[in-house]
Every structure is written in structure tokens, then in C-alpha cells.
Amino acid sequence: MDSVETSHLTKRYGDTVAVDSLDLAVPEGTVYGFLGPNGAGKTTTMRMLTSLVRPTSGSATVAGVNVTDREALVSHIGYLPEEPPLYDELTAREQLTYAAGLRGIPEPTARERMDDYFERLDLADDADLRIDAYSKGMRQKTAFVQALLHEPDVLFLDEPTSGLDPRAARTIRDTIDGLADSGTTVFLSTHILPVVDEHADVVGVLSEGRLVAEGPPADLKRRADAGEEADDDRSLEDVFLDVTSEDPASGDSDSEDEGETATPEAASAGHGPEADG
Ligand SMILES: Nc1ncnc2c1ncn2[C@@H]1O[C@H](COP(=O)(O)OP(=O)(O)OP(=O)(O)O)[C@@H](O)[C@H]1O
């Protein structure tokens, strides 16, 4: 069974098709690098897969659970969104104890896991300070631990190393590798392509709501090479710019304009709360 399966998954906001008939099949224990220009539909996809917004049409299961069944889904998933929900008036330890309680994790277990992550992420000395005194990186570390404290089957991460110093970023990336080795599926959305290149088993590139390329990073680079003069230095960035530069799905893909990777409309993403989730 695949950990993440979607079939014609679609989300519309009025006239905007944020996600357009997406078909995914992500095997257990995979690190899936989810790429795409601003406004491509990555966040919307992850919000559907974590049951925060309802698909307009199509279907999806995560860890075998239909994403419309939020109650059944929550124990199987962890989500680190771009702007993590934390209570400023709590300390990191209080915040995580509270989150662990909601997930039904026994307190001694929660404490043990927390202390382990605090050590690894260099947060131990600050774990009893209020979050409103935290730097962006300290908040990010707290939210990362919150997303995985209950050892979910599938972990959705949106820019997990955002605001982190190099050592903490490395720890997070090592943690991702370790989780995948032990069978956790990690769905990783980031604009930092070298991270995806190094850690993802499979990469999917979304553009205007559609999946325009998918495969192991090495395959994508090799495939991209085939149409070019011999060039051993193709990077994932080159592939990304190629497949998102025009609308490849329409077959109209000869473009020189490397800088533009999304339509201006698609780039002006708004992330307001939604009534139908
Ligand atoms: N709540 C909403 N209401 C209306 N439109 C929305 C909403 N959320 C997203 N959209 C639109 O859906 C499209 C996809 O947005 P989404 O946030 O999923 O993109 P993204 O790939 O995560 O972008 P980024 O890389 O900038 O975070 C955009 O056109 C955006 O404006």
C-alpha cells in the first residue's frame, strides 16, 4: 500500500484551479520532494492531504485513511506548515506537552522524546522560556518537534529548515533521513533544491496545479540531459526551470526565459483561512 495516494485530486477557489487532477502514489518510507513555483499548489495539496481543506473533486488517502476522515487521519499524520501554530504564552515544553496530550501520548514518553529532540536541536537551555521570546529558528525547531512527537506514519513538512542555522538545518535533514529509514514517509516541500537533491528519493514538480515531472532526482537530471548536448552538470535547478518555464503539458515548452517560472497570477498566492475545511 502506498502511504500517499491521490486520484484526480482537485481544488478550486472560484475560477482558480489551485490543484488540477493530481495523481500521486508515494510508497511507505519515501522522502518525496514536492517542488513547484510560488502559487503552484503545493500548500493547497498538503492542506488537502492533512484534511485542513476539502478537495473539490477527486480523492486521496494518507496511510490508508481517506483524507475527508479527519478524526481517523490525525494520529497518522504530522504537519509542519509554513507558519506553525504555537501559543506565544507557553514555553516550548508546555506547548509540546499540550500537543502530546491531544495526541494521547503518555507523559513520560512525551517527555523522553521531547528531551531527546531538545538536545539534538540545541533547544534544551531554552525549552522552559516562553515562546514569545523565541527567535524564528527556535519557533521552527519547536514546531518541527510538535509535528513528529507522536511518531506519525506520514510527515508533511513545508520548508522545515526555514530560518534555521546550518547546524540545526543539518540536524533536521538527518532526522528526515532517519525517519524515512525507519519507515516514515516524508512529504517535503521546499524551494531549497540541493536539499531535495540530497535527501529525496522521488521528486514531483507541480506547476499551475499539475504534476509536470516526477522521478528520482538522478533520473530527472538524466532525462533532462537527453534532449541537450552532453552536459554532465545538469542540476535539479535546471530541470526545475525547464519543466516550469512554460506550460509543458500543452507541449509549448521552448522557452529561453529562465527567470519566469510561474504566471504572475499564480505567483500572487493568498493563504487565508477557509470556510469549507
Ligand atoms: N484560501 C484560498 N483562497 C483563494 N485562493 C487560494 C487560497 N489558497 C490558495 N489559493 C490559490 O491557489 C493557488 C495555489 O496556492 P498555494 O498556496 O497552494 O501555492 P504554493 O505552491 O504553496 O505556493 P508557495 O510556494 O508560494 O507557498 C494560488 O493561485 C493561490 O492564490
What residue segments make up the domains of the chain, in order of their start? Answer: 2-87+150-168+183-269
pLDDT for 80-129, tens place per residue? 999 888 999 999 999 999 999 999 999 999 999 999 999 999 999 999 99
- DSSP structural state of residue 221: H
CA distance 247 to 22: 16
Q: Is the pLDDT of residue 266 over 80?
A: no
Instruction: Give the domain 2-87+150-168+183-269 fold.
Output: Rossmann fold (3.40.50)
- What ligand 1 atom has the least distance to the C-alpha of 40? 21
- What ligand 1 atom has the least distance to the C-alpha of 269? 31
* pLDDT at 38 (0 to 100): 94
156 close to 50: Cβ distance less than 8 angstroms: yes
The single-letter code of the amino acid at 33 is G
3-state SS record for 130-143: EHHHCCHHHHHHHH
193 close to ligand 1 (CB < 6 Angstrom): no
228 close to ligand 1 (CB < 6 Angstrom): no
pTM confidence score: 0.87
Q: Report the percent of the chain where pLDDT is more than 90.
A: 76
The maximal CA–CA distance of the chain, rounded, in angstroms, is 59
- What ligand 1 atom has the least distance to the C-alpha of 206? 21
Query: Kindly report the CA angle at 161 between 181 and 138, in degrees rounded to 5?
Result: 115
* pLDDT at 222 (0 to 100): 83
Phi-psi region of 210 (alpha: psi -120 to 50; beta: other; left: phi over 0): beta
CA distance 145 to 23: 30
Of the pLDDT bands very low, low, confident and very high (cuts 50, 70, 90), residue 224 is: low
Classify residue 67 as exposed, middle or buried by CB count within 10 Å of its CB (0-12, 13-18, 19+): buried
- What ligand 1 atom has the least distance to the C-alpha of 274? 1
161 close to 173: Cβ distance less than 8 angstroms: yes
Stretch (H or E) spanning 109: helix 107-120
State the distance from the centre of ligand 1 to the C-alpha of 208, rounded, in angstroms. 10
Tell the residue nearest (CA) to atom 27 of ligand 1.
38
Tell the residue nearest (CA) to atom 5 of ligand 1.
13
pLDDT for 48-68, tens place per residue? 999 999 999 999 999 999 999
Pocket test for ligand 1, best of 10, 13, 47, 208 (most atoms within 8 A of CB): 13
For cell 533544491, name the residue: 193
207 close to ligand 1 (CB < 6 Angstrom): no
Residue 100: Cβ within 10 Å count: 20
State the distance from the centre of ligand 1 to the C-alpha of 87, rounded, in angstroms. 25
Mean pLDDT, rounded, for 65-77: 96
Q: Is the ipTM of this complex over 0.90?
A: yes
Q: Radius of gyration (Cα) for the chain, nearest Å? A: 19
- The terminus-to-terminus CA distance of the chain in angstroms comes to 26
